[in-house]
């Protein structure tokens, strides 16, 4: 009966699918069919009657992957996949918290803070506590809070011995208290809260343990300690955890993901079967060989060998451009040529290490009239006008949501100045209430705003979602605001685009109602927070994929362009002084290479403009780690003309450019770029020694004790420091 399910699999894959109901680890390289095995196992378990769809919990890495899994399952089995628990860690935790909001001590309509909202919430707390944001850069604080939560730690559990850390813990505690008052949760809170719910509430835990007999996890190598503990709780003593992963593709160590989980899994779950899959079905031989050769430079691998029965195929095409603009122009030409040869745009991907790189590429694509979709960049739900519109809806749902209130109380402008806002915040602080409560007692323009929100609420109470959206866009004044901006020549285009996006929001709501049983406003707002970026307009259109390498995990394309292969950019400068940093960059490069099925381009530029500065770089040392005989140089070979490997971008402005918020994902290990005690040279102050480091990314500052000029704090973004 299941023969059709198993027929396309090789013996090892088949063995994995047919394993008895026990915990197992499938450890296998890229493109060896891990995800396929996992999906097939779900179908197999259901079709052999071992479990009902209701008893499955499957965790994937992105919502896109979850959707794909559900689609594949429906194709394999005649079952209703709709209510199945297949999703991301965040998505599944959100679902549990919604179902048990009381037990989790949350309001029914709790809202989710994305990382931008979280940052502004943190800034508010810091202001209230009088914390110096020079000394404690808010971004670093955000990193600290999320990082602690991802380790499963609440503020009072963080070990703090020095006054500096103690202060950070204070902010952490107050931030959590503020979120609780306002009825909002950030991303890591979703997980931690859900974990705590299950660990404290025996009845609930037993209920879910009874239910989820089979728990399946894709990309297991990237689970962080908290996620692992969450899985362990759900699995209990009885249930089977089926994990698939690849240690060579672990790319979230900087966020606390832990390959060590694999060893723990073997121990904690008494895993008897570790199955290795070694045949790669994705890529042509040369691509695979290049990936294998690259990753061999890493130490501490669990070790696997990947082979393919495919022929070598084409060589990897390497292109050196004079500038980033030329690089983009070259890529556009190649894409057009491939298109003429019959390769669909959706079958091609442009990958980059840092989000900031996409702008030039996008510009070239737009000029050439090629459609594209950006994954993980400035996403639909993150655009300014969309966030404004959603803030109205959020405040209507939950008036305690101070973030939402602050965003729109004076947008569009209604004459509520910074002073009245400060007063409002002060009143709220003194009385220990939310801003809304304070506003409700205020007079004048503030009270008009309160009345507006209340009238929006009552007018839309019984309307379907798309009409709520429509009503709010009109009556909040948002549409009128952007309409009026259209009359200004300089803002015309931008305003038009924003209006189109707002329109698109109504479409998104319509689609949402069609696709979901729960079509409440709360459900839609959750969807907006969780799916940001993964659900963009025009999904069916033939369009190119643009994304960071991180976002490309698990995906595959006929043709892949890995762009910006320059030392300091990829491998990223931030990785240089971090332990194991270069190895992680190399795994990232391994992920990038193994996305390609048939053709792979490796491109780099001699100079690059980023954040308004020109930077000069050398070719990435990763290029040198690829066997020369696999490469086809489209421009004269670099290694013949100059050496590369040791040098990196010289200007510190480059460091700042890539270390900033736009690096994706932004890892700001404080002072990763310079070490204490390091000797440096400054054009004006001469030679000195680094004696202090603060902040990260664009906020990074170093203290240098100069031989002749004394001790100075320098902002890395402006200081031209070089190592000596
Ligand atoms: P990654 O590590 O990148 O996530 P993966 O191990 O999850 O990769 P899949 O995405 O499951 O690999 O499979 C890679 C490709 O190989 C897919 O196109 C899949 O359909 C195909 N594939 C997997 N197994 C087989 C097989 N036995 N026969 C033919 N094609 C296969
Ligand atoms: Mg996969």
Cα–Cα dist 381/374, whole Å: 13
| Pairwise pLDDT comparison (626 vs 360), residue with the higher score | 626
> Which atom of ligand 1 is found nearest the CA of 38?
11
Cα–Cα dist 289/298, whole Å: 15
35 as an active site residue: the answer is yes
**Set 249, 548, 559, 678: catalytic member:** 249
> Which atom of ligand 1 is found nearest the CA of 29?
2
List the residue whose alpha carbon is closest to atom 26 of ligand 1: 9
Region 636-644: what's the mean pLDDT?
53
- Cα of 623 to ligand 1 centre, how many Å? 26
Cα–Cα dist 267/205, whole Å: 22
In the predicted structure, residue 655 carries a pLDDT above the cut 60: no
Instruction: Detail the residues annotated as belonging to a binding site for ATP.
Output: 28-35
Ligand 1 lining (C-beta closer than 6 Å): 8-10, 13, 28, 30-36, 246, 249, 281-282, 554, 556, 594
Q: Of the ligands numbered here, which is closest to the C-alpha atom of 36? A: 1
Cα–Cα dist 533/554, whole Å: 17
In the predicted structure, residue 264 carries a pLDDT above the cut 80: yes
Region 480-492: what's the mean pLDDT?
82
Alpha-carbon Rg for the chain, nearest whole angstrom, is 26
Which residue in 78, 16, 79, 74 sits closest to 53, CA to CA?
Answer: 79
In the predicted structure, residue 491 carries a pLDDT above the cut 80: no
- Each residue's pLDDT tens digit, 49-77: 999 999 999 999 887 788 889 999 998 98
In the predicted structure, residue 574 carries a pLDDT above the cut 50: yes
List the residue whose alpha carbon is closest to atom 13 of ligand 1: 33
- Cα of 327 to ligand 1 centre, how many Å? 31
- Each residue's pLDDT tens digit, 81-120: 888 999 999 999 999 999 999 999 999 888 888 777 888 8
What is the per-residue pLDDT for 500?
73
Output phi, psi for 53, to 5 deg.
-55, -30
Instruction: Detail the residues annotated as belonging to a binding site.
Output: 28-35
pLDDT more than 70, % of the chain: 88
What is the per-residue pLDDT for 698?
52
Region 299-322: what's the mean pLDDT?
89
What is the per-residue pLDDT for 189?
95
- Cα of 598 to ligand 1 centre, how many Å? 14
Which residues are paired to 566 by β-bridges?
619
- Cα of 33 to ligand 1 centre, how many Å? 3
Tokens matching residue 721? 């420091």
DSSP-derived 3-state class of residue 579: coil
**Set 117, 150, 186, 219: catalytic member:** 219
Q: Are 651 and 721 in contact (CB under 8 A)?
A: no
613 as an active site residue: the answer is no
List the residue whose alpha carbon is closest to atom 31 of ligand 1: 281
> Which atom of ligand 1 is found nearest the CA of 280?
16
pTM exceeds 0.90: no
- Cα of 34 to ligand 1 centre, how many Å? 6
Which residues are paired to 372 by β-bridges?
544
Window from 215-219, 287-291, 499-503, 630-634 with minimum mean pLDDT? 499-503
- Cα of 54 to ligand 1 centre, how many Å? 26
What is the per-residue pLDDT for 382?
63
Q: How confident is the model at residue 351 (pLDDT cuts 50, 70, 90)?
A: very high
Tokens matching residue 414? 């209604």
List the residue whose alpha carbon is closest to atom 19 of ligand 1: 33
> Which atom of ligand 1 is found nearest the CA of 37?
11
DSSP-derived 3-state class of residue 87: strand
- Cα of 37 to ligand 2 centre, how many Å? 9
Q: Of the ligands numbered here, which is closest to the C-alpha atom of 28? A: 1
Cα–Cα dist 148/132, whole Å: 21
- DSSP per-residue codes, 153-203: --GGGS---SHHHHHHHHHHHHHHHHHHHHTEEEHHHHHHHHHHHHHH-HH
DSSP-derived 3-state class of residue 243: strand
Cα–Cα dist 684/672, whole Å: 23
712 as an active site residue: the answer is no
Question: In degrees to the nearest 10, what's the CA dihedral of 706, 709, 713, 717?
Answer: -90
Which residue in 192, 160, 199 sits closest to 176, CA to CA?
Answer: 192
Mean pLDDT: which of 307-311, 638-642, 662-666, 686-690 is highest?
307-311
| Pairwise pLDDT comparison (49 vs 679), residue with the higher score | 49
Distances (CA, A) of 229 to 199, 200, 233, 247, 260: 10, 13, 6, 19, 13
| Span between the terminal Cα atoms of the chain, in Å | 70
**Set 34, 213, 394, 587: catalytic member:** 34
Region 344-366: what's the mean pLDDT?
85
Tokens matching residue 335? 């894409």
Residue 348 neighbours by CB distance under 10 Å:
26
- Cα of 64 to ligand 1 centre, how many Å? 16
Residue 477 neighbours by CB distance under 10 Å:
17
CA 309 to chain centroid: 34
> Which atom of ligand 1 is found nearest the CA of 249?
2
Q: Are 350 and 548 in contact (CB under 8 A)?
A: no
Q: Of the ligands numbered here, which is closest to the C-alpha atom of 31? A: 1
Q: Are 82 and 66 in contact (CB under 8 A)?
A: no
- Cα of 46 to ligand 1 centre, how many Å? 21
Cα–Cα dist 637/317, whole Å: 11
- Cα of 530 to ligand 1 centre, how many Å? 27
What is the per-residue pLDDT for 360?
79
Cα–Cα dist 264/267, whole Å: 5
Q: Are 69 and 56 in contact (CB under 8 A)?
A: no
Q: Of the ligands numbered here, which is closest to the C-alpha atom of 41? A: 1
The backbone region for 505, taken as left when phi is positive above 0, alpha when psi lies in -120 to 50, beta otherwise, is alpha
Site to probe by mutation for ligand 1, drawn from 246, 282, 288, 597 as the one with most ligand atoms within 8 Å of Cβ, is 282
CA 134 to chain centroid: 27
> Which atom of ligand 1 is found nearest the CA of 219?
4
- Cα of 262 to ligand 1 centre, how many Å? 21
- Write b or e for each residue in 190-221: b if 16 or more Cβ atoms lie within 10 A of its Cβ, otherwise e: bbbbbbebbeeeeebbeebbeebbbbbbbbbb
Q: Are 502 and 486 in contact (CB under 8 A)?
A: no
List the residue whose alpha carbon is closest to atom 8 of ligand 1: 31
Q: Are 685 and 651 in contact (CB under 8 A)?
A: no
What is the per-residue pLDDT for 648?
39
DSSP-derived 3-state class of residue 566: strand
Cα–Cα dist 635/642, whole Å: 14
Region 536-551: what's the mean pLDDT?
76
Helix (H) or strand (E) holding 691: strand 686-694
Site to probe by mutation for ligand 1, drawn from 281, 309, 597 as the one with most ligand atoms within 8 Å of Cβ, is 281
Give ∠ CA 240-244-248 in degrees, rounded to 5: 150
List the residue whose alpha carbon is closest to atom 2 of ligand 1: 30
Q: Of the ligands numbered here, which is closest to the C-alpha atom of 597? A: 1
Residue 170 neighbours by CB distance under 10 Å:
16
Cα–Cα dist 140/126, whole Å: 12
Residue 267 neighbours by CB distance under 10 Å:
8
Average pLDDT over the chain reads 85
List the residue whose alpha carbon is closest to atom 14 of ligand 1: 31
- Write b or e for each residue in 236-260: b if 16 or more Cβ atoms lie within 10 A of its Cβ, otherwise e: eeebbbbbbbbbbbbbbbbbbbbbe
In the predicted structure, residue 672 carries a pLDDT above the cut 60: no
- DSSP per-residue codes, 616-654: E--B-HHHHTS-GGGEEESS--HHHH---SS-----HHH
The beta strand positions in 459-543, using DSSP E, are: none
Q: Is the peptide bond before 412 cis (omega within 30 degrees of 0)?
A: yes
219 as an active site residue: the answer is yes
Q: Is the peptide bond before 665 cis (omega within 30 degrees of 0)?
A: yes
What is the per-residue pLDDT for 660?
31
ipTM for this prediction:
0.99
Looking at residue 315, the DSSP 8-state letter turns out to be P
Side-by-side strand order, sheet with 85-87: 85-87, 56-59, 214-217, 240-245, 24-28, 273-277
Which residues are paired to 689 by β-bridges?
679, 705
DSSP-derived 3-state class of residue 562: strand
**Set 12, 13, 35, 664: catalytic member:** 35
List the residue whose alpha carbon is closest to atom 24 of ligand 1: 33
Window from 17-26, 142-151, 510-519, 556-565 with minimum mean pLDDT? 510-519
SS (H, E, C) 425-478: HHHHHHHCCCHHHHHHHCCHHHHHHHHHHHHHHHHHCCCCHHHHHHHHHHHCCH
CA 25 to chain centroid: 25
The backbone region for 499, taken as left when phi is positive above 0, alpha when psi lies in -120 to 50, beta otherwise, is alpha
218 as an active site residue: the answer is yes
Strands 701-706 and 710-715: antiparallel
Q: Of the ligands numbered here, which is closest to the C-alpha atom of 556? A: 1
Q: Are 544 and 349 in contact (CB under 8 A)?
A: yes
Ion ligand 2 contact residues with beta carbon within 5 A: 34-35, 554
Cα–Cα dist 427/128, whole Å: 12
């Amino acid at each position: 009966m299941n023969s059709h399910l198993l027929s396309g699999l090789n013996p090892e894959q088949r063995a994995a699918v047919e394993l008895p109901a026990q915990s197992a680890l499938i450890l296998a390289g890229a493109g060896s069919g891990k995800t396929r095995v996992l999906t097939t196992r779900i179908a197999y378990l259901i079709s052999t009657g071992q479990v009902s769809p209701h008893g499955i919990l499957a965790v994937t890495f992105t919502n896109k992957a979850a959707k794909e899994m559900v689609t594949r399952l429906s194709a394999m089995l005649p079952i209703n996949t709709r209510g199945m628990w297949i999703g991301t860690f965040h998505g599944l935790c959100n679902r549990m918290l919604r179902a048990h909001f009381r037990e989790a001590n949350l309001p029914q309509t709790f809202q989710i803070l994305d990382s931008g909202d979280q940052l502004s919430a943190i800034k508010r707390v810091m202001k209230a506590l009088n914390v110096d944001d020079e000394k404690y850069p808010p971004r670093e604080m955000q990193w600290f809070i999320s990082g602690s939560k991802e380790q499963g730690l609440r503020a009072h559990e963080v070990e703090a011995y020095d006054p500096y850390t103690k202060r950070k813990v204070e902010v952490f505690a107050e931030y959590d208290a503020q979120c609780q008052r306002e009825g909002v949760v950030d991303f890591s809170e979703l997980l931690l809260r859900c974990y705590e719910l299950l660990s404290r509430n025996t009845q609930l835990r037993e209920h879910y343990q009874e239910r989820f007999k089979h728990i399946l996890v894709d990309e297991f190598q990237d689970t962080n300690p908290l996620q692992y503990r969450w899985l362990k709780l759900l699995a209990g003593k009885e249930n089977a955890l089926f994990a698939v992963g690849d240690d060579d593709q672990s790319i979230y160590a900087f966020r606390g993901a832990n390959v060590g989980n694999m060893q723990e899994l073997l121990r904690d779950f008494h895993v008897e079967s570790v199955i290795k899959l070694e045949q790669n079905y994705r890529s042509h031989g040369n691509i695979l060989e290049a990936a294998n050769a690259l990753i061999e430079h890493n130490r501490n691998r669990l070790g696997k060998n990947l082979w393919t029965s495919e022929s070598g195929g084409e060589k990897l095409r390497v292109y050196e451009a004079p500038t980033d603009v030329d690089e983009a122009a070259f890529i556009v030409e190649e894409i057009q040529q491939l298109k003429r040869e019959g390769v669909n745009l959706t079958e091609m991907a442009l990958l980059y290490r840092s989000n900031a790189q996409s702008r030039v590429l996008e510009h070239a694509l737009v000029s050439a009239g090629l459609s594209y979709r950006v994954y993980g960049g400035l996403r639909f739900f993150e655009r300014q006008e969309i966030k404004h519109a959603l803030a109205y809806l959020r405040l209507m749902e939950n008036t305690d949501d101070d973030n939402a209130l602050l965003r729109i109380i004076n947008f569009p402008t209604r004459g509520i100045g910074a002073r009245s806002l400060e007063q409002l915040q002060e009143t709220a602080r003194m009385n220990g209430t939310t801003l809304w409560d304070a506003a409700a007692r205020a007079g004048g323009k503030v009270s008009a705003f309160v009345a507006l929100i209340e009238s929006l609420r009552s007018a839309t109470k019984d309307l379907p979602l798309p009409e709520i959206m429509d009503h709010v866009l009109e009556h909040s004044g948002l549409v009128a605001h952007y309409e009026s901006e259209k009359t200004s020549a300089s803002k015309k285009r931008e305003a038009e685009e924003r209006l189109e996006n707002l329109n698109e929001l109504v479409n998104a709501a319509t689609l949402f109602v069609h696709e979901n049983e729960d079509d409440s406003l709360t459900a839609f707002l959750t969807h907006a927070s969780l799916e940001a970026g993964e659900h963009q307009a025009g999904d069916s259109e033939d369009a190119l994929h643009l994304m960071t390498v991180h976002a490309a995990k698990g995906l595959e394309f006929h043709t892949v362009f890995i762009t910006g292969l320059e030392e300091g950019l990829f491998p990223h400068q931030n990785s240089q002084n971090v332990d194991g940093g270069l190895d992680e960059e190399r795994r990232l490069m391994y992920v990038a290479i193994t996305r390609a099925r048939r053709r792979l381009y490796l491109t780099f530029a001699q100079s690059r403009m980023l954040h308004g500065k020109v930077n000069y770089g050398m070719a990435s040392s990763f290029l040198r780690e690829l066997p020369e005989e696999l490469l086809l140089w489209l421009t004269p070979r670099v290694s013949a003309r100059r050496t590369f490997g040791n040098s990196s971008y010289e200007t510190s402005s480059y460091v700042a450019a890539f270390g900033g918020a736009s690096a994706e994902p932004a890892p700001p290990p404080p002072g990763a770029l310079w070490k204490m005690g390091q000797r440096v040279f400054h054009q004006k102050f001469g030679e000195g020694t680094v004696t202090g480091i603060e902040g990260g990314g664009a906020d990074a500052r170093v203290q240098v004790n100069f031989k002749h000029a004394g001790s100075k704090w320098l902002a890395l973004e402006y200081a031209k420091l070089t190592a000596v």
